[in-house]
């Protein structure tokens, strides 16, 4: 069976973040034939600066991100909401992946955005901003994938999201729809 690789970027750098746990649960519950890979090291990537984005001299962490994206069939962004928008680390990753202009590693790549936040709306503003940014960066946003988990701190108090059947089902469906979009784009 063909294998589809989904690169996952988590907007929270905290080791115990619920959004990171959502990424782990998505990887553990991915449909057969789909591999969900969590990218490590977003915090090591310098802020995008065209002066340091020079062929042959791109910072190692930024190049690793570009290579991981180029080796993937789809992109899953998992974002908390910081002050009403996505975290800077996620926006920075999108900026690095958008270059070189018109030919970035995510150009035309099926991409979905999900996440959780403490508030009742689950970070929808952050997710909307991430969809807008990644779409402008050249990715093909899979609009059918919408998953905003509100009240996450209390909902997952004492449990991992992969131990919540509703969350597992929703994540599985989100990954399946993204994988299907990735296969049809190939």
Query: Which percentage of the chain shows pLDDT scores above 90?
Result: 91
Domain extents for the chain? 4-185
CA distance 35 to 114: 17
Report pLDDT digits (tens) over 17-44. 999 999 999 999 999 999 999 999 999 9
In the predicted structure, residue 59 carries a pLDDT above the cut 50: yes
| pLDDT computed for residue 165 by the predictor | 96
Report pLDDT digits (tens) over 162-186. 999 999 999 999 999 999 999 887 6
Task: Tell me the residue length of the chain.
Answer: 186
| pLDDT computed for residue 2 by the predictor | 61
In the predicted structure, residue 1 carries a pLDDT above the cut 70: no
Domain 4-185 has CATH 3.40.50.300: no
Which residues sit opposite 141 in a β-bridge?
Answer: 111
Report pLDDT digits (tens) over 104-157. 999 999 999 999 999 888 999 999 999 999 999 999 999 999 999 999 999 999
Report pLDDT digits (tens) over 66-115. 999 999 999 999 999 999 999 999 999 999 999 988 889 999 999 999 99
Contact 79, 71 (CB under 8 A): no
CA distance 127 to 41: 21
DSSP H or E segment with residue 110: strand 110-116
Q: Output the CA–CA distances (angstroms, integers) from residue 166 to 40, 147, 163, 173, in the order listed.
A: 27, 12, 9, 11
């Amino acid at each position: 069976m063909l294998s589809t690789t989904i690169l996952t970027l988590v907007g929270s750098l905290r080791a115990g973040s619920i959004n990171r746990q959502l990424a782990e649960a998505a990887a553990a519950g991915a449909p057969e034939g789909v591999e969900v890979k969590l990218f490590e090291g977003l915090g090591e990537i310098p802020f995008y600066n065209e002066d340091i984005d020079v062929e042959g001299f791109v910072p190692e962490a930024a190049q690793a991100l570009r290579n991981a994206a180029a080796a993937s069939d789809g992109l899953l962004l998992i974002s908390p909401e910081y002050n009403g928008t996505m975290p800077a680390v996620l926006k920075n990753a999108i900026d690095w992946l958008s270059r070189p202009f018109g030919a970035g590693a995510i150009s035309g790549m099926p991409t979905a955005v999900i996440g959780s936040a403490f508030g009742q709306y689950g970070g929808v503003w952050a997710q909307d901003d991430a969809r807008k940014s990644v779409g402008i960066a050249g990715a093909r946003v899979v609009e059918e994938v919408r998953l905003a988990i509100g009240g996450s701190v209390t909902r997952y108090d004492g449990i991992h999201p992969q131990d919540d059947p509703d969350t597992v089902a929703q994540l599985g469906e989100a990954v399946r729809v993204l994988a299907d979009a990735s296969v049809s784009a190939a």
